[in-house]
């Protein structure tokens, strides 16, 4: 088989993420062209940064490398892919797609929902729901881990964070998938708009209810009763709801699914955790590193400059490939392996770096560590019973399905 020419490599090609070949491409770029430009693709021209240190350097300079929606936002999937008219119709303002100082004041509003004291407050219910879910799984039968565990647990958590109507919580992952779906963005635009309208109407109704109520610890109430966010227009309000839904749903959900993938590839690592339950937290961080639930973040260059000998021009798109930086051999020894007791697992880039580091990182870690702890408490093995099905998406590293069978260990 002949190697693809470096000059024409397009690492964001969606099929690479569905078949897993993206990792081989990223390894090659790390070794041969860690700062690489794809000049022509369905996402336009873009740079790829695949080394840990380069990603961190760019993340640390948010004014030189912008996240602003007006400059294209945080994903390579932008108006060049969706079409300018469609992109404008579906434009969403959100605080992750803002630069300082705007970003700082708006992020500060939601941050109290994820403090250590809030994690302590939520920990009991997270454990209770996780235990109940695991106890309800079919014994000895094949079922889909994604729908029965990953989606179920993260949907419940989202509903609690928003104080969303419990009997309607099933809508949250449906909306989340519609927000990030390449197929819907490109080919089913009208259907996606209908779903976004339904989401908007529901959250506008909740906004009205919470405005008339006393301040409460849910995310909606925090936003409504804050100076920085209380006067949001409709575009920004819906954008922030979309951000919190996708952020709360996709990252944790896909890490929970990635856990099953990892422990089936390296069962000896699961043996370590079963033998030493104190590894649960570290193993959770290692899953988040190894799976990289968000494959990339995009930044846009704000002024011409030289970056390690490459001419970056104002307006250039830069893809920060977390999925590659997290496996950078110069930073993570045997980075393509899941190692439950890896000593620097928490130094991963999956939550980003700098001012845009994921505001809900603690909650994601708590949920995944709790899942592992409760699996260990049940001496549980989860055996893969079919192929892992992945989404064609270079932004969210999404696992759609993993058929499994649960057995006891030992």
- Please report where in the chains the tokens 């729901």 appear, as a residue: 129
What per-residue confidence (pLDDT) applies to 92?
62
Query: How far apart are alpha carbons 325 and 319 in whole angstroms?
Result: 12
Model confidence at 228, pLDDT cuts 50, 70, 90, reads: low
Q: Has residue 254 got a pLDDT over 70?
A: yes
Query: How far apart are alpha carbons 253 and 260 in whole angstroms?
Result: 12
Q: Do residues 51 and 325 touch, judged by C-beta distance below 8 A?
A: yes
Can you tell me the mean pLDDT for 48-62? 98
* CB contact set of 366 (below 8 Å; sequence gap of 6+): 119, 122, 123, 126
Q: Has residue 49 got a pLDDT over 70?
A: yes
Query: How far apart are alpha carbons 256 and 287 in whole angstroms?
Result: 8
pLDDT, tens digit, 9 for 90 and up, residues 191-210: 888 888 898 899 889 988 98
Can you tell me the mean pLDDT for 332-346? 97
Strand partners, 399: 390
Q: Has residue 72 got a pLDDT over 80?
A: yes
Model confidence at 12, pLDDT cuts 50, 70, 90, reads: very high
- Give how far the C-alpha of residue 103 lies from the chain's centroid of Cα atoms, to the nearest Å: 19
Model confidence at 410, pLDDT cuts 50, 70, 90, reads: very low
Q: Has residue 336 got a pLDDT over 70?
A: yes
Instruction: Write the CATH number of the domain with boundaries 6-408.
Output: 1.10.630.10
Query: How far apart are alpha carbons 60 and 274 in whole angstroms?
Result: 38
Can you tell me the mean pLDDT for 83-93? 53
What per-residue confidence (pLDDT) applies to 146?
96
What per-residue confidence (pLDDT) applies to 237?
78
* Phi and psi based region of residue 383 (left: phi greater than 0; alpha: psi -120 to 50; beta: remaining): beta
Can you tell me the mean pLDDT for 261-287? 97
CA nearest 295: which of 3, 1, 43, 7? 43
Query: How far apart are alpha carbons 230 and 84 in whole angstroms?
Result: 30
Q: Do residues 30 and 11 touch, judged by C-beta distance below 8 A?
A: no
DSSP label at 3? Answer: P
Q: So where are the chain's domains? A: 6-408
Q: Do residues 229 and 109 touch, judged by C-beta distance below 8 A?
A: yes
> For residues 112 and 288, which has the higher predicted lDDT (pLDDT)?
288
DSSP label at 5? Answer: P
Can you tell me the mean pLDDT for 328-352? 97
């Amino acid at each position: 088989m002949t190697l693809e020419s470096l000059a024409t490599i397009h690492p964001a090609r969606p099929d690479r993420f569905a078949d897993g070949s993206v990792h081989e491409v990223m390894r090659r770029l790390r070794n041969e062209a860690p700062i690489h430009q794809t000049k022509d693709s369905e996402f336009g021209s873009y740079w790829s940064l695949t080394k840990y240190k380069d990603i961190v350097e760019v993340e640390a300079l948010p004014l030189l490398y912008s996240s602003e929606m007006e400059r294209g936002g945080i994903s390579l999937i932008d108006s060049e892919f969706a079409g300018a008219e469609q992109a404008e119709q579906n434009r969403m303002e959100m605080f992750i797609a803002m630069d300082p100082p705007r970003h700082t004041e708006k992020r500060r509003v939601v941050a109290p929902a994820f403090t250590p004291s809030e994690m302590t407050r939520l920990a009991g219910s997270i454990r209770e729901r996780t235990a109940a879910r695991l106890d309800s799984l079919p014994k000895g039968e094949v079922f889909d881990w994604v729908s029965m565990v990953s989606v179920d647990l993260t949907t419940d958590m989202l509903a609690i964070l928003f104080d969303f109507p419990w009997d309607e919580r099933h809508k949250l992952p449906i909306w989340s998938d519609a927000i990030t779906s390449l197929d819907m963005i490109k080919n089913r635009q009208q259907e996606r708009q209908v779903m976004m309208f339904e989401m908007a109407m529901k959250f506008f109704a909740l906004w009205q209810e919470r405005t008339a109520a006393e301040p409460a610890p849910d995310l909606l109430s925090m936003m409504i009763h804050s100076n920085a966010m209380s006067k949001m227009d409709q575009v920004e309000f819906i954008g922030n709801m979309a951000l919190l839904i996708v952020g709360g749903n996709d990252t944790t959900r896909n890490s929970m699914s990635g856990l099953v993938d990892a422990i089936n590839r390296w069962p000896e690592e699961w043996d370590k955790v079963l033998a030493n339950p104190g590894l649960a937290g570290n193993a959770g961080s290692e899953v988040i590193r190894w799976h990289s639930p968000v494959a990339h973040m995009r930044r846009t260059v704000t002024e011409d400059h030289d970056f390690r000998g490459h001419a970056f021009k104002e307006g250039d798109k830069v893809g920060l490939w977390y999925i590659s930086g997290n496996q950078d051999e110069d930073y993570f020894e045997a980075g393509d392996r899941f190692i439950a007791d890896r000593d620097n697992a928490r130094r991963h880039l999956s939550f980003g770096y700098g001012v845009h580091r994921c505001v809900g990182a603690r909650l994601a870690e708590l949920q995944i560590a709790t899942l592992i702890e409760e699996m260990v408490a049940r001496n549980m093995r989860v055996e893969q019973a079919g192929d892992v099905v992945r989404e064609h998406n270079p932004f969210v590293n999404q696992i759609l399905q993993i058929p499994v069978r649960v057995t006891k260990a030992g």
